[in-house]
């Protein structure tokens, strides 16, 4: 029995001193080695003892073996953990080192603002529709109650030359509003649609004016659509576009294709309505035109007047994008400077 | 337009203080763009809208509007003209040519004294931005600021003959204005003339000859409404925008003009003294009767989305100056005031009822609507998908002007007919683009200055005249520049194009030799192509576009590759959609093979031979390396392929694959190509 105790003591002492995997293997051979292992030898020597003593010491020896095996496993796990730790330390990276550069693509800010707007409106059930960029005089003006309107003037509107035969006169659309009539000619209410695209006006260019710009409009028609509904949808849109806390304000206005007509202001994004140079200290910024569809437009589209009510509103996407991204000059949009495009 | 607070206070009792008034006016009527203190007065700059110019271009109109929205008492100015017993026909007659003036009045005043105006008047002019001239002219201008109607005074003693005519100008007539400018008149200009010729350009500017001077003793006072379109046209041509022409460019209320003549004479007499003839000339066609508008009371609430009682509506209408009679059921017969010619329908009335009631009082409410989808426009959605793919592939989106110059198109050899503007702003933007190439080429040339290898794309429309209508076609174009060798940039663009088409779920894309004879709309630009680095792109059997390196004559310092695809042509093929293919259950075996061929030999021909001789087990052939060099002679190149063998039924044995390779090598050898493993 003493022998067992001595072996246990010595074995555990040496194990304690083992520092790495090769030391541990060495220890394992010294103790458990098939030929020369101390424990092996001790167990082997039991064969020469008398039966009763053998049984007694045998039980103790087995216990010792279990104990030593357990300690061995513990130590092995410990050493493995230590080794991994050391190896991982060698793999240390400089976390402040610049990441590998990926060539990133970019969507134009006007596309991004259009997509965001379309997502908001489609979430409200609006369908996206399209129309031509070069319109007939009828869809761009006449059908919108703009017969004889001064905007048709050669000074304010581009016209195509007369090289296309036929009675139609063509105009690079001055607004996307013509799509209303095109759509209504082919569909009956109820419906709600959103449409956008390039428009042209014969206007001298400066930091806030362009002869080409993008517009987005919405139209919703049913039996009971009201100004109250228009207010709700406009507020919902701007809150989703610019964040909670944005207020809208409707002011009386005049457009040939809506009645009543409104100018819509939103809380100035630059100063949250406190007053700054962007909003000329008023706290409000004029962003779009809106109104209830003029019954004359329904009539031009072939509907029975007063059978339907609807709202429509339209906005310049360039202006919204300028506001959202704080872009100071509208001309930047179509210069396509790579250093501009890569910011979005 | 500028208005004086103190002037408005003459007509409206107990007005709110200026700042409050400005806010109220902005919300209930029209935008007050600015308010500014001037001395003891405050000036309001109000943005007038075209439909209300007729009645709001003067202080009386604005004051009445304040009364309508604020409800406080309104007083019309009281005219007090002194008239003699002599009828006007003793002094003057007038003749109005058809279609020149809707109404024309002339008054005669004698014994006037022309001198500086009183100080109070001068102050009011300063507030409204008008220059005082002399008591007589100032009286007409004061009247204009008051009523919105311009009036004009002539020196009676400088008039020749006894008839004033309003007529179109005659050929080669000229007139010298009060500023001394001589205007060559044209046949659509409307003039006021005496026996000798024009003495004023109607509604725009007076003439030198009958101008009021300090010696004027007898005056003719004109008050009229002229054809707005003619005034607008003439004013623009001669380059005058006057306070008068600005007002006359809109339709002023001819109907109420007669009742203001007395006011005008009263002002003349207050400012410059004198006595008027017994009556005034007043020429106009009979005005149609004011037809009452049928207003369905519930419709007002139904359109506005707020509950307005009949009582509220009646109060508002009364303040607007309408007279109302109850009609059948819940209707009202509403006669608008004579100065509101713009009120014609019940929606016109409801618009005013709504704003005077207060739009901010209408509570926002979500619309309730049946869930019916009109469906999105397919091409719109697909174009946005393509934008997304191009972004994923590392390209930046450009948006160019749809208008280009004729030179832009000529410089890329575009000779086909184009859509031209009749009235371009400049030559630079005069015709619609037939391709996105000119715009993107300019972008990339500038881009290379700032970026090592810029990559841009654009989705947009190109244009041409079709038989009887303009035609638009949606295109995707892509441009890239850089310094890759041996056509590497071409291959990169081709890779982009293939990835793009794969994203669309299509696989039968073909690159064929450009057929110059088949250059059909919307494909173009043959002249700008590198003759040996250009391809016609087809999907299935349909041509969808071109891919080419730009000819060195056109490009920037570095090579440029461009492709342009017809979006509708791609969309048309997408009906064949993606379909699931079983994932292979057995491993593939890959063998590499390199083939030495003449340098003009196409990779496709080699792949064809391998595929045709590879049998069913050959699942894929993939060109992975390409080498041209001295190792195997000047005019040879090496193409290296991965050959992928696979069965869907079992794991392949080495021997089967080796046998197949022998067959493939033999086939390649028959073409005279050397094979190295």
Question: Which residues from A are below 8 Å from B450, CB to CB?
Answer: 337-339
| A158/A122 same-domain check | yes
d(CA A58, CA A51): 10
pLDDT at res. B628:
77
Token representation of residue A64: 């010792």
pLDDT at res. B562:
94
C-beta atoms of A129 and B381 within 8 A: no
Question: Which residues from A are below 8 Å from B370, CB to CB?
Answer: 190, 222
Q: What is the pLDDT along chain A (344 residues), one digit of tens a residue?
A: 677 888 888 888 888 888 888 988 898 888 888 888 888 888 888 778 888 888 888 888 888 888 888 988 999 999 999 999 999 999 999 999 999 888 899 999 999 999 999 999 999 999 999 999 999 999 999 999 887 776 777 778 999 998 888 888 999 999 999 999 999 999 999 999 999 999 999 999 999 899 999 999 999 999 999 999 999 999 999 999 999 889 999 999 999 999 999 999 999 887 888 888 878 788 899 999 999 999 999 999 999 989 999 999 999 999 999 988 989 999 999 999 999 999 99
CATH code for the structural domain at B589-676? 3.30.70.380
d(CA A173, CA A180): 13
Cis peptide before A260 (omega within 30 of 0): yes
C-beta atoms of A250 and B359 within 8 A: yes
d(CA A276, CA A289): 23
B4 pLDDT above the threshold of 60: yes
B518 pLDDT above the threshold of 80: no
pLDDT at res. B524:
66
Specify the range with the lowest mean pLDDT, choosing from A191-195, A340-344, B457-461, B485-489. Answer: B485-489
List all residues of chain B from 433 to 492 with a beta carbon under 8 Å from chain A: 439, 443, 446-447, 450-451, 454-456, 460-461, 463, 465, 468-470, 472
Span B135-171, pLDDT tens digits: 999 999 999 999 999 999 999 999 999 999 999 999 8
- Please give the interface size between A and B, counted as residue pairs whose CB atoms are below 8 Å apart: 244
B526 pLDDT above the threshold of 80: no
| A330/A192 same-domain check | yes
Place of tokens 């953990």: A81
What lies within 8 Å, CB to CB, of B68 at 6+ separation is B316, B319, B320, B321, B356
Asked if residue A48 is part of any domain, the answer here is yes
Nearest to B391 among A107, A125, A159 (CB): A107
pLDDT at res. A33:
87
Residue A229, CA distances (Å) to A49, A240, A255 in order: 103, 17, 19
Specify the range with the lowest mean pLDDT, choosing from A293-302, B182-191, B594-603. Answer: B594-603
Indicate the number of domains in chain A: 2
| A322/A198 same-domain check | yes
C-beta atoms of B443 and A204 within 8 A: no
CATH at A270: 3.30.930.10
d(CA B71, CA B73): 7
B517 pLDDT above the threshold of 60: yes
Specify the range with the lowest mean pLDDT, choosing from B456-460, B575-579, B637-641. Answer: B575-579
Using CB atoms within 10 A of its CB, is residue B510 exposed (0-12), middle (13-18) or buried (19+)? middle
Nearest to A110 among B306, B347, B399 (CB): B399
What φ, ψ does residue B58 adopt, rounded to 5°?
-140, 165
Q: CB distance from A295 to chain B under 8 Å? A: yes
Q: What is the mean pLDDT of residues B587-614?
A: 89
B439 pLDDT above the threshold of 60: yes
**Domain range annotation of chain B:** 2-70, 88-284, 293-359, 378-576, 589-676
Q: Are B2-70 and B293-359 in the same CATH fold?
A: yes
Asked if residue A133 is part of any domain, the answer here is yes
Is residue B560 within 8 Å of residue B479, measured between CB atoms? yes
CA distance to partner chain B, nearest, from residue A157 (Å): 8
d(CA A126, CA A145): 25
pLDDT at res. B102:
92
Asked if residue A35 is part of any domain, the answer here is yes
How far is residue B17 CA from its own chain's centroid? Answer: 39
d(CA A300, CA A284): 35
Q: What percent of chain B has pLDDT over 70?
A: 97
pLDDT at res. A319:
93
pLDDT at res. B309:
95
Question: Which residues from A are below 8 Å from B422, CB to CB?
Answer: 154, 158-162
Q: In the predicted model, what is the mean pLDDT of chain B? A: 90
Nearest to A159 among B26, B376, B422 (CB): B422
Cis peptide before B311 (omega within 30 of 0): no
Question: Which residues from B are below 8 Å from A191, CB to CB?
Answer: 372, 374
Nearest to B50 among A122, A134, A254 (CB): A254
Q: CB distance from A252 to chain B under 8 Å? A: yes
| A210/A296 same-domain check | yes
pLDDT at res. B574:
73
Known binding-site residues of B for Mg(2+) equal 342, 348, 351-352
Token representation of residue B621: 């052939």
Q: How does residue B246 score in pLDDT terms, banded at 50, 70 and 90?
A: confident
Tell me how crowded residue B140 is: count the other CB atoms within 10 A of its CB.
Answer: 24
Nearest to B421 among A158, A261, A342 (CB): A158
Tell me how crowded residue B327 is: count the other CB atoms within 10 A of its CB.
Answer: 15
Which domain-ending residue is among A31, A63, A90? A90
Asked if residue A243 is part of any domain, the answer here is yes
DSSP assignments along B574-612, one per residue? GGG-----PPPSS--EEEEEEEEEETTS-HHHHHHHHHH
| A29/A168 same-domain check | no
ipTM above 0.90, yes or no: no
d(CA B408, CA B417): 14
Q: How does residue B516 score in pLDDT terms, banded at 50, 70 and 90?
A: confident
Residue B518 has what DSSP assignment? G
Question: Which residues from A are below 8 Å from B356, CB to CB?
Answer: none
C-beta atoms of A161 and B421 within 8 A: yes
Question: Which residues from A are below 8 Å from B348, CB to CB?
Answer: 259
Question: Which residues from B are below 8 Å from A108, CB to CB?
Answer: 397-399
SS (H, E, C) chain A: CHHHHHHHHHHHHHHHHCCCHHHHHHHHHHHHCCCCCHHHHHHHHHHHCCHHHHHHHHHHHHHHHHHHHHHHHHHHHHHHHHHHHHHHHHCCCCCCCCCCCCCCCECCHHHHHHHHHHHHHHHCCCEEECCCCEEEHHHHCHHHCCCCCHHHCCCCCCCECCCCCCCCCEEECCCCCHHHHHHHHHCCCCEEEEEEEEEECCCCCECCECCEEEEEEEEEEECCCCHHHHHHHHHHHHHHHHCCCCCEEEEEEEECCEEEEEEEEEECCCCCCCCCCCCCCCCEEEEEEEEEECHHHHHHCCCCCCCCEEEEEEEEHHHHHHHHHCCCCHHHHHCCCHHHHCCC
CATH number for domain B293-359, candidates 3.60.15.10, 3.40.50.2300, 3.30.365.10, 3.30.56.10: 3.30.56.10
| A62/A8 same-domain check | yes
What φ, ψ does residue B342 adopt, rounded to 5°?
-80, -15
Q: In angstroms, what is the C-alpha Rg of chain A?
A: 41
CA distance to partner chain A, nearest, from residue B87 (Å): 41
* Most confident by average pLDDT, A214-228, B475-489, B507-521: A214-228
Is residue B570 within 8 Å of residue B539, measured between CB atoms? yes
Decide: helix, strand or coil at residue B61. helix
Nearest to A134 among B355, B390, B463 (CB): B463
Q: What is the mean pLDDT of residues B73-85?
A: 90
| A208/A330 same-domain check | yes
C-beta atoms of A261 and B27 within 8 A: no
Question: Which residues from A are below 8 Å from B31, CB to CB?
Answer: 251, 263
Which residue, B384, B107, B324, B354, is CA-closest to B223? B107
- Partners of A195 in the beta sheet? A129, A217
d(CA B169, CA B239): 17
Span B188-242, pLDDT tens digits: 899 999 999 999 999 899 999 999 999 999 999 999 999 888 888 898 888 888 8
CATH architecture of B88-284: 3-Layer(bba) Sandwich (3.50)
What lies within 8 Å, CB to CB, of B535 at 6+ separation is B494, B511, B512, B513, B514, B546, B547, B548
Is residue A341 within 8 Å of residue B396, measured between CB atoms? yes
Is residue A234 within 8 Å of residue B362, measured between CB atoms? no
| A188/A68 same-domain check | no
Residue B398, CA distances (Å) to A196, B387, B395, B441 in order: 18, 11, 9, 11
Query: What is the maximum span of chain B, computed from C-alpha positions, in angstroms?
Result: 131
Pairing of strands A191-200, A127-129: parallel
Is residue B592 within 8 Å of residue B580, measured between CB atoms? no
Q: Nearest chain B Cα to A261, which residue?
A: B351
Whole domain around residue A255: which residue ranges?
109-341
Asked if residue A102 is part of any domain, the answer here is no
CATH code for the structural domain at B378-576? 3.30.930.10
C-beta atoms of A127 and B375 within 8 A: yes
B257 pLDDT above the threshold of 90: no
C-beta atoms of A227 and B305 within 8 A: yes
Nearest to A129 among B377, B422, B443 (CB): B377
B487 pLDDT above the threshold of 90: no
pTM equals 0.86
Nearest to A259 among B306, B351, B403 (CB): B351
CATH architecture of B2-70: 2-Layer Sandwich (3.30)
Q: CB distance from A167 to chain B under 8 Å? A: no
Give the strand order in the sheet containing B323-326. Answer: B293-296, B331-335, B323-326
Asked if residue A101 is part of any domain, the answer here is no
d(CA A161, CA A33): 104
List all residues of chain B from 290 to 329 with a beta carbon under 8 Å from chain A: 299, 302-306
C-beta atoms of A104 and B394 within 8 A: yes
B578 pLDDT above the threshold of 70: no
B576 pLDDT above the threshold of 60: no
Q: What percent of chain B has pLDDT over 90?
A: 61
| A69/A212 same-domain check | no
Tell me how crowded residue B587 is: count the other CB atoms within 10 A of its CB.
Answer: 10
Q: How does residue B337 score in pLDDT terms, banded at 50, 70 and 90?
A: very high
Asked if residue A294 is part of any domain, the answer here is yes
pLDDT at res. B345:
94
Asked if residue A98 is part of any domain, the answer here is no
């Amino acid at each position: 029995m003493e022998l067992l105790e001595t072996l246990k003591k010595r074995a555990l002492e040496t194990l304690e001193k083992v520092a790495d995997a090769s030391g541990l293997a060495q220890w394992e051979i010294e103790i458990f080695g098939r030929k020369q292992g101390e424990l092996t030898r001790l167990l082997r020597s039991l064969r020469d003892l008398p039966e009763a003593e053998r049984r007694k010491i045998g039980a103790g020896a087995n216990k010792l073996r279990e104990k030593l095996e357990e300690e061995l496993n513990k130590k092995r796990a410990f050493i493995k953990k230590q080794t991994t730790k050391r190896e991982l330390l060698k793999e240390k990276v400089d976390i402040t080192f610049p990441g590998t550069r990926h060539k990133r693509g970019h969507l134009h800010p006007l596309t991004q603002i259009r997509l965001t707007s379309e997502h908001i409106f489609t979430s409200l059930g609006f369908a996206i529709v399209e129309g031509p960029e070069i319109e007939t005089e009828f869809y761009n003006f006449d059908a919108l109650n703009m017969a004889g309107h001064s905007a048709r003037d050669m000074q304010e509107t581009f016209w195509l030359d007369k090289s296309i035969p036929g009675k139609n006169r063509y105009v690079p659309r001055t607004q996307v509003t013509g799509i209303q009539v095109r759509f209504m000619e082919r569909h009956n209410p109820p419906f709600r649609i959103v449409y956008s695209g390039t428009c042209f006006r014969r206007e001298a260019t400066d930091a806030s004016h362009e002869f080409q710009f993008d517009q987005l409009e919405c139209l919703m028609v049913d039996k009971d659509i009201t100004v109250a509904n228009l207010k709700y949808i406009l507020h919902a849109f701007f809150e989703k576009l610019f964040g909670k806390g944005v207020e809208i304000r409707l002011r009386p206005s005049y457009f040939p294709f809506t009645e009543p007509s409104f100018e819509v202001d939103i809380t100035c994004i630059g100063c949250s309505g406190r007053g700054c140079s962007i909003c000329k200290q008023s706290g409000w910024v004029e962003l779009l035109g809106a109104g209830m569809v003029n019954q004359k437009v329904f009539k031009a589209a072939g509907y029975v007047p007063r059978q339907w009510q609807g709202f429509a509103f339209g906005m310049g996407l360039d202006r919204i994008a300028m506001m959202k991204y704080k872009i100071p000059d509208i001309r930047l949009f179509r210069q396509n400077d790579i250093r501009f495009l890569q910011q979005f | 337009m500028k208005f004086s607070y103190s002037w408005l206070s003459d007509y409206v009792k107990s007005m709110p203080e200026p700042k409050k008034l400005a806010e109220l006016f902005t919300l209930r009527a029209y935008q007050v763009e600015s308010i500014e203190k001037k001395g003891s007065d405050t000036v309001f700059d109000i943005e007038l809208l075209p439909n209300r110019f007729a009645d709001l271009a003067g202080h009386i109109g604005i004051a009445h509007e304040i009364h309508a929205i604020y409800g406080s008492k309104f007083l019309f100015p009281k005219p007090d003209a002194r008239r003699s017993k002599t009828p006007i026909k003793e002094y003057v007659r007038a003749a109005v040519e058809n279609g020149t003036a809707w109404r024309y009045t002339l008054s005669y005043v004698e014994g006037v004294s022309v001198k500086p105006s009183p100080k109070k008047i001068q102050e009011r002019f300063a507030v409204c931005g008008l220059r005082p001239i002399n008591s007589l002219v100032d009286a007409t201008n004061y009247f204009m600021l008051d009523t919105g109607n311009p009036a004009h005074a002539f020196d009676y003693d400088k008039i020749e003959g006894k008839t004033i005519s309003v007529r179109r100008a005659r050929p080669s007539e000229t007139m010298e204005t009060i500023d001394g400018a001589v205007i060559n008149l044209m046949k659509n200009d409307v003039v006021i003339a005496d026996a000798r010729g024009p003495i004023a350009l109607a509604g725009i500017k007076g003439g030198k000859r009958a101008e009021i001077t300090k010696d004027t003793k007898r005056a003719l006072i004109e008050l009229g409404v002229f054809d707005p379109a003619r005034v607008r046209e003439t004013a623009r041509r001669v380059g005058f925008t006057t306070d008068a022409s600005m007002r006359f460019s809109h339709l002023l209320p001819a109907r109420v003009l007669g009742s203001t003549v007395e006011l005008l004479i009263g002002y003349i007499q207050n400012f410059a003294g004198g006595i008027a003839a017994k009556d005034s000339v007043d020429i106009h066609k009979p005005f149609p009767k004011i037809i009452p508008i049928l207003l369905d009371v519930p419709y007002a609430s139904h359109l506005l989305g707020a509950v307005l009682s009949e009582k509220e509506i009646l109060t508002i209408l009364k303040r607007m100056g309408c007279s109302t009679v109850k009609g059948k059921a819940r209707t009202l017969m509403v006669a608008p005031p004579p100065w509101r010619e713009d009120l014609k329908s019940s929606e016109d009335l409801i618009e005013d009822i709504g704003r005077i009631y207060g739009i901010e009082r209408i509570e926002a409410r979500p619309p309730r609507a049946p869930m019916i989808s009109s469906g999105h426009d397919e091409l719109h959605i697909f174009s946005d998908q393509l934008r997304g793919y191009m972004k994923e592939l590392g390209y930046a989106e450009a948006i160019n002007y749809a208008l280009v110059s004729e030179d832009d198109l000529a410089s890329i050899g575009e000779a086909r007919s184009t859509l031209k503007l009749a009235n371009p702003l400049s030559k630079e933007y005069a015709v619609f683009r037939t391709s996105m190439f000119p715009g993107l080429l300019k972008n990339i040339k500038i881009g290379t200055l700032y970026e090592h290898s810029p990559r841009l794309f654009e989705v947009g429309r190109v244009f041409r005249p079709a038989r009887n209508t303009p035609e638009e076609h949606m295109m995707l174009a892509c441009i890239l520049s850089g310094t890759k060798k041996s056509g590497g940039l071409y291959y990169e663009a081709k890779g982009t194009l293939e990835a793009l088409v794969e994203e669309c779920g299509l696989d039968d894309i073909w690159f064929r030799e450009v057929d110059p004879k088949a250059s059909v709309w919307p494909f173009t630009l043959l002249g700008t192509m590198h003759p040996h680095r250009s391809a016609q792109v087809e999907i299935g059997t349909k041509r969808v576009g071109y891919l080419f390196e730009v000819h060195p004559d056109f490009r920037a310092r570095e090579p440029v590759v461009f492709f342009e695809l017809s979006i509708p042509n791609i969309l048309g093929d997408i009906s064949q959609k993606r379909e699931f293919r079983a994932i292979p259950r057995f491993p593939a075996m890959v063998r590499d093979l390199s083939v030495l061929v003449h340098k003009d030999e196409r990779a496709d021909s080699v792949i064809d031979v391998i595929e045709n001789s590879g049998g069913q087990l050959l699942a894929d052939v993939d060109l992975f390396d390409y080498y041209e060099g001295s190792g195997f002679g000047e005019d040879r190149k090496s193409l290296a392929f991965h050959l992928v063998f696979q069965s869907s039924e079992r794991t392949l044995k080495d021997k089967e694959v080796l046998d197949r390779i022998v067959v493939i090598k033999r086939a390649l050898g028959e073409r005279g190509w050397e094979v190295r493993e």
